[in-house]
Structure 1
Amino acid sequence: MNFTLRHFCIHLSILCSIAFAHSQQVSVPLDTLINTSHTVQIKGKSIPYTATTGFQPVWNDQGNPIASLFYTYYKRSDLKNDENRPLLISFNGGPGSASVWMHIAYTGPRILKIDSEGFPIQPYGIKDNPNSVLDVADIVFVNPVNTGYSRMIPDKDGKMPEKKVFFGVNADIEYLSEWVNTFVTRNNRWRSPKYLIGESYGTTRVSGLALALQQKQWMYLNGVILVSPTEIGFEFDGPIEVANRLPYYTAAAWYHKKLPPALQQKDLLEVLPKAEQYTIHTLIPALVKGGTLAEKDRKLIIASMAYYSGISKTVIDQHNLEVPKAFFWKELLRSDQGYTVGRLDSRYKGMDVKEAGERPDYNSELTAWLHAFTPAINYYIGEELKFKTDLKYNMFGPVHPWDRSNNNSGEALRSAMTMNPNLHTMIQSGYFDGATTYFNAKYVMWQLNANRKLGERLDFKGYRSGHMMYLRNEDLIQANQDIRDFIVKSSKKIQSGSKY
């Protein structure tokens, strides 16, 4: 082959390779939807609905798209008008977590195939959710940037937006409030009663959104639901943070039958108030004293902490009364069974390579959950909702570094509630959640009610499970019913006007 022909063949090969690579590039849909029709049996009644799945852009100040968010919108289809039909806008947490968890395990019309306690079973798959709140509210599940299929969009020169536009407490709230405004406008839902529900970090998100929507979008909400809430910006460090761990330790120890007989023979809801009262009235004041705590008082505190936690006086003493949660997860079952317990749901057991150590090697509950959720959501979106894409569904997406500065989301929710007499808040927590504990959730609720005038608009609901309390079937039934009751309660006075 002469040089000219060889050069031409090489050049042609390169062009073909470039063309092939370009044709194989995974694209992010900017603004596209797929609609499907379905029916589900809820509380014994047949509920027809449409599922709209796709992407809606995020715009910058110049009106150019900088991201496209993937969402799924369920709307009941047998109603003539939706002016009084509640709209539930759902976010998960992380930050960096997709909306998959509450979507296919809690409020949506289709849920995971799991056992009655929430443990994964095979073959993995999806089934109808007879407890979905779709009978009383339409639902949209939103995936923030880099979660699910949501992604940033490059400009005309191929340059990506700056990460700081999306990845931070306040940046997240700002762009999502704009996105929600667009969604509500496009779907003609301005007249509808509106509710936000967020889980874990999603509670920080929806707490901040409550005020952002009110002040910047002039959109007033009827309710905010905080599922397994974070501190939402309220600071409780030092003795309070340390002491607040104890009621959760009591719950986890009770579940694994590690409490003394006097406590173990009682029901969980008889035991927890005792641990809570001890924490508030005795443990916090004792820890405030630090090294000045009298020796005899210190020994009494150590004995009581052991009594309520199921771990030994020795290790409590060795930790100077400040037992880290990670150590507790490693320690609780170490002496007799050698298992660890889960962080997000301490009903789950794990097995480490070594029984020795300060913390578990992995999160046993999260590993179990990913077994079931990952195949289910990928199958469901592609095969049942008919949305086909080569994008990877990010169960947990790259959103770090996350700017956590100036987190005033709790103050924002409190302000929104004081300015909007019709805004109610409900907290839902699992007693066996070791990441965002139920007692910290109560503490958050107490801080929200600092002026002692919001009490009738605040509700706390506890469940005998963990972070995702809805995985346990008994709690799935009750938690969804609690949402129904919350919607009814928060709507009672709306007809009498927004006033005090």
Structure 2
Amino acid sequence: MTTRETVGRIGGLEYTARLEELPLRRSDGAAQGTLSAFSYTVDAPDRPILFLTNGGPGVSSIYLHLSGIGPWRARIPLDPAGHGAPPYGIEESRSTLLDVADLVFLDAPGTGFGSVVEDRDPGDFRSVEADADAIAAAIGDWVDRHGRWDARKFFLGESYGTIRAAFLATSAHLADTAPLDGLVLLGQAVNIQETFGRPGNIVGALANLPYKAATAWYHGAGSQEHPRVEDAIRAALDFARGDLALAMLQGDELAEPARTAVAQRLSKMIGLPVESLVASRLWTSQQDFRSDLLPGRVLGVTDSRYAAPAADRRLGELEYDPSDVALTPRYTTALSRLLQEVFAVASDQPYRVTDPDAGRDWEWDEAGVALFPTYGQPSPFRTYPYPARLSRWMKQNPRGRLFIGTGVYDSLTTVGAADHLLRHYDLPRERTESHWYRAGHMMYSDAGVGETLNDDLRAFLVR
């Protein structure tokens, strides 16, 4: 694929849009393939650069690329009750960050227009360390190619991209070639091992409570004494840090009357029946919550405002994610229009939204695991100290700043998980900011939320 370049204008601002190939390589090795990158730059001195990737692992940059951060956004219905049927579309983004920063959307190895040469194994890049090293090399190559050595540089990762961000921050290659001034974590998953709702994981149950309260508030099933969803979230955080934590830690030693009293408070907050909460010792996973909150309905994984009829297992129906059904076709259709109408890419050149093999083959271990017992492969003692990457970077870089954004209706990377990250990993509060948005995992799927988020990011980038 040859470099595609065009000039555009938005709000009186002229910019250059590029689709180009970058080498796919480790920071100390020869190219083993290619990565694709979309960039939007303005011919003006001293502009910061924001590099961006989505998550997965193995997802292209499509959802950020068409979020409205850049000059274009996919058209998303304002009402989550709307469905995913056509007409779809693409529109200019009135809130684009192009007025304050150049933007580079990087497609993860194995996605976009990227390729791996025939005698190389794509699995070489399917690990937390190899993936981050490849993205670090791509950032360095882009900076060299465009002569942007002196620009301030920021990295924005979404979902798994936030784990990638933590590894990039401490990349020796970037420290030497393109050190980062700030990180943006949208839907942070850095501490997801501690905060995901595995059976018996009390920290996860406590961290997920604000998500459940926000979702119950939205659907009118719980937390109805609060006028705003933010108030419901704060009440849930207080309950999770106090009485609920004390009750859950006691397990079956908690007397039945006390457990029932706590279950009654919890039921009023998250909308599930008291008797089921008592029977489960106050614990319910996000997955069960999405199925149980509204009888006969299932809520979206990435955005619990979306709901659909539950699968009929008597017929052998499989569950589906109503938020994914409503949103993904809009992004993929918008990308097709962008490629043909802006970059003049022929329709026979396939763009890979995902690498379907990445998640199955991913290697989650990293060097920090050596500090903990790891008997066997895999080991019950295995740990993944990803947050240590963030704390180390902020200690080594006294100017480094951190931005965390969380969608309150996101069942995957929750408000409580972000709160846990801030409270337990020694991140300097004076250089860290955390924001909640009335959205799901893909916070830009709501145009109004996207404009607010962009305003917050604009302030972060120019500070």
Q: Same fold (TM over 0.5)?
A: yes
- 1:189 is matched with 148
Whole-angstrom distance in 2 between the partners of 1:294 and 1:107: 52
Aligned residue pairs, count: 437
Which one is further off, 371-380 or 89-98? 371-380
The CA deviation at 1:282 is: 1.4
Which residue among 355, 375, 379 is the counterpart of 1:397?
355
- 2:70 is matched with 108
- 2:99 is matched with 135
- 2:306 is matched with 348
> Does the alignment pair 1:316 with 2:277?
yes
Which one is further off, 439-448 or 87-96? 439-448
- 2:60 is matched with 98
The CA deviation at 1:387 is: 2.8
Which one is further off, 139-148 or 252-261? 252-261
> Does the alignment pair 1:151 with 2:115?
yes
Q: Secondary structure at the match of 1:441?
A: helix
- 1:247 is matched with 210
- Structure 2 counterpart of 1:460, one-letter code: S
> Does the alignment pair 1:294 with 2:268?
no
The CA deviation at 1:469 is: 1.5
Determine what percentage of the aligned residue pairs are the same residue. 27
Deviating above 4 A after TM superposition, structure 1's stretches of 4 or more consecutive aligned residues are: 60-63, 117-121, 213-216
Which one is further off, 174-183 or 212-221? 212-221
Whole-angstrom distance in 1 between the partners of 2:391 and 2:402: 10
Which residue among 324, 327, 339 is the counterpart of 2:297?
339
Q: Closer, same or farther in 2 for the Cα pair 1:461/1:261, shift >3 Å?
A: closer
Q: Closer, same or farther in 2 for the Cα pair 1:355/1:333, shift >3 Å?
A: farther
- Structure 2 counterpart of 1:434, one-letter code: S
**Residues 401-416 of structure 1: pairs in structure 2 closer than 5 A:** 401-406=361-366, 407-416=384-393
The alignment's C-alpha RMSD in Å is: 2.2
The CA deviation at 1:344 is: 0.7
**Residues 25-424 of structure 1: pairs in structure 2 closer than 5 A:** 29=1, 32-41=2-11, 46-59=12-25, 64-77=30-43, 79=44, 81=45, 84-117=46-79, 120=84, 122-154=86-118, 159=119, 161-212=120-171, 217-232=176-191, 235-236=194-195, 238-259=201-222, 261-263=224-226, 266-334=227-295, 338-354=296-312, 361-388=319-346, 390-398=348-356, 399=358, 400-406=360-366, 407-424=384-401
- 1:10 is matched with none
The CA deviation at 1:171 is: 1.3
Which of these two proteins has the greater Rg computed from alpha carbons? 1
| Contact 2:42–2:102 under 8 Å retained in 1 | yes
Q: Closer, same or farther in 2 for the Cα pair 1:64/1:390, shift >3 Å?
A: farther
- Structure 1 counterpart of 2:423, one-letter code: W
Q: Secondary structure at the match of 2:24?
A: strand
| Contact 1:234–1:410 under 8 Å retained in 2 | no
Q: Closer, same or farther in 2 for the Cα pair 1:261/1:211, shift >3 Å?
A: closer
Which residue among 438, 443, 447 is the counterpart of 1:464?
438
The CA deviation at 1:135 is: 0.6
Q: Secondary structure at the match of 1:343?
A: coil
- Structure 2 counterpart of 1:38, one-letter code: G
The CA deviation at 1:319 is: 2.4
| Contact 2:68–2:444 under 8 Å retained in 1 | yes
The CA deviation at 1:97 is: 1.0
The CA deviation at 1:389 is: 6.1
Q: Closer, same or farther in 2 for the Cα pair 1:196/1:356, shift >3 Å?
A: farther
Q: Closer, same or farther in 2 for the Cα pair 1:61/1:231, shift >3 Å?
A: closer
Whole-angstrom distance in 1 between the partners of 2:71 and 2:442: 17
Whole-angstrom distance in 2 between the partners of 1:457 and 1:60: 31
| Contact 2:407–2:439 under 8 Å retained in 1 | yes
Q: Secondary structure at the match of 2:332?
A: helix
The CA deviation at 1:176 is: 1.5
| Contact 1:35–1:53 under 8 Å retained in 2 | yes
Give unmatched runs, 5+ long, in structure 1: 1-28, 490-500
The CA deviation at 1:354 is: 2.5
Q: Closer, same or farther in 2 for the Cα pair 1:61/1:355, shift >3 Å?
A: closer
Q: Secondary structure at the match of 2:393?
A: helix
| Partner deviation per Cα, 1:59-95 (whole Å, 9 max, x = no partner) | 3578542120011010013x2x2xx211000010011
| Contact 2:187–2:406 under 8 Å retained in 1 | yes
- Structure 1 counterpart of 2:252, one-letter code: G
| Contact 1:207–1:409 under 8 Å retained in 2 | yes
Q: Secondary structure at the match of 1:65?
A: coil
TM-score, normalised relative to structure 1: 0.83
The CA deviation at 1:356 is: 8.9
